[in-house]
Amino acid sequence: MNTQEGVNLLENKRIAIVGGGPGGLTLARLLQLKGADVTVYERDYSPSTRVQGATLDLHYESGLKALDNAGLLDAFKHAYRPGADKGRVVDTQANILYDDHGKDECNDFDNESFRPEIDRGDLRSLLLASLQADTVVWDSQLVQISPRLDAWQLTFKNGTTVVADLVVGADGAHSKVRPLLTSIQPFYAGTTIVQGNIADAATAAPTIHQLLQGGKLYTHTTGKFLHVSAKGDGSIDFYVSCRVDEDWLQTNGIDFADQQQLRAWLKQEFSGWAPVWFELFESVSLPLLIRPQYCVPFDQSWASQPSITLLGDAAHLMPPSGEGVNLAMLDALELSECLTSEQFATTQLALAAYEKPMLERGTEEAKVSMEGVEWMHTESANDKLVALFNE
C-alpha cells in the first residue's frame, strides 16, 4: 500500500467495487489516485459484450465535477459529442413543436447550465483507460456475499471466490449488495420501458435519422412517451415508456424477440401515429429490452456499517430523469473523499458521513423523477416540455 497522506483508513485494505458502470469505475479511479488497493468486479464478459445504451448528459455540479477531480475532464472534452444535447419535441405526426438546433451551440464547460453529451460506451472506455492494469475483473457476476471475520467473502457465478475488507455495491437496480444494508425494496413506478437499438441508422431508418439531426427526439402522448437518441457510432437508441401494470410482460403474452408479434403490438400501441415512426420499429434489432421501472421509497434509511456501502442505482433507484449517472458519479466522488479524509477515526464514521447526504440527495431526486413519471405520460406533456425548454 502506498501510504500517501489522507489514506490512513484504507491502509492495507482490499476494496471490492461490485459493478463496472460509470459510478463504480469513477470510484475506482478516484481511490487509485489516493493509492488505494481497488478491484472492480463486473458481470459483463468483456468491455464489448453489450450495447451500452443511449447517450448521457453530464452535469456541472455532479458528473463533470467528478471527472474533474479524477483528472479526466480533458479526456472527456475529447470524447464528448458537441451538438448531441440538442433536441426536438415532436408530436405523434412528427410535426416539430420545439427545436434546439436553431440555437447557438454552447460548449462552455464553465457554464453551469451546459450539459455535454457522451455515448455511454465512450464514457466507460474513458474511465477504463484511466485505471491501472487488471483493475477490472470481467465475467464476475456476484451471486453471494457473506461476512467472514472482519471482512467479506464474495462468490461469483464463474466459481471464483474473493475476500475484501471493504465492499461497495455499485451493482445497479438488482443489487446483490443492497440486502446486506437494508431490507427496504424499491416499489414499481407504474411504467415499463421497451428499449431498442438500430445499427447504421442512415441506411436502416433514414427519415428518423434525418429528423434527429444527431441529437434527440421527444414525443409524449396519453399513457406513453418515446425518446430517441442518435449515437456516435451511427446507430439510434430509443425507448418507449408505457403506463402498464407491473406484470404486463407476463400477462400480455408478447414475445418481443418475434418480429411478427412485435409488429402486431406496435400496430395496436401506435395506432394513429405517423408512418415515420414505424420506420424506426421495423428496423430495430431484436430482441427488444423490456425494463420495468422501480423507485426507492422516499423514507428509506439504514444504519451505517463499518465496511460495506452502496452508490448509484443500488442506493437510490429511480425511473430515468437525466440524473442517474450524475448521482452515481457524485456518490463516487463524495465516498472517495470521506474514505480518504483524515477527519474520521473509523471507516464506519466515514461511511456514515457519506451516506447521510447521499440518501437525502437520492430521495429528493427520486421525488422529482416520480413527478416526471406522472406528467410525462399525459396528453399535455409535449406542451409542458416545450415550456420547460423555453424557460
Q: How far apart are CA 175 and CA 294, in angstroms?
A: 13
What is the structure's pLDDT at 51?
Answer: 63
Q: Which three cell numbers stand for residue 373?
A: 413519471
Q: Which domains does the chain have, with CATH numbers?
A: 15-81+116-185+297-376 (3.50.50.60), 189-294 (3.30.9.30)
pTM for the whole thing? 0.95
With 0-12 / 13-18 / 19 or more C-beta atoms within 10 angstroms meaning exposed / middle / buried, residue 315 is: buried
The answer to the question of whether 361 is labelled as a binding residue is: no
Q: Max CA-CA distance within the chain?
A: 66
What is the structure's pLDDT at 253?
Answer: 83
Residue 241 near residue 224 (C-beta atoms within 8 A): yes
The answer to the question of whether 14 is labelled as a binding residue is: no
The answer to the question of whether 108 is labelled as a binding residue is: no
Closest by CA position to 173, among listed 158, 188, 159: 188
The answer to the question of whether 200 is labelled as a binding residue is: no
Residue 212 near residue 228 (C-beta atoms within 8 A): yes
What is the structure's pLDDT at 52?
Answer: 64
Element (H, E) at 197: strand 187-198
DSSP per-residue string spanning 138-187: -S--EEEEEEETTEEEEEETTS-EEEESEEEE---TT-SSGGGT----PE
Per-residue pLDDT in tens (0 to 9) along the chain, 391 residues: 343 444 489 999 999 999 999 999 999 999 999 999 999 999 999 998 776 677 899 999 999 999 999 999 999 999 999 999 999 999 999 999 999 988 877 788 999 989 999 999 999 999 999 999 999 999 999 999 999 999 999 999 999 999 999 999 999 999 999 999 999 999 999 999 999 999 999 999 999 999 999 999 999 988 899 999 999 999 999 999 999 999 998 888 888 888 888 888 888 889 999 999 988 888 888 888 999 999 999 999 999 999 999 999 999 999 998 899 999 999 999 999 999 999 999 999 999 999 999 999 999 999 999 999 999 999 899 999 999 988 8
Q: How far is CA 167 from the centre of its chain?
A: 20
What is the structure's pLDDT at 105?
Answer: 76
CB atoms within 10 A of CB 223: 14
What is the structure's pLDDT at 372?
Answer: 94
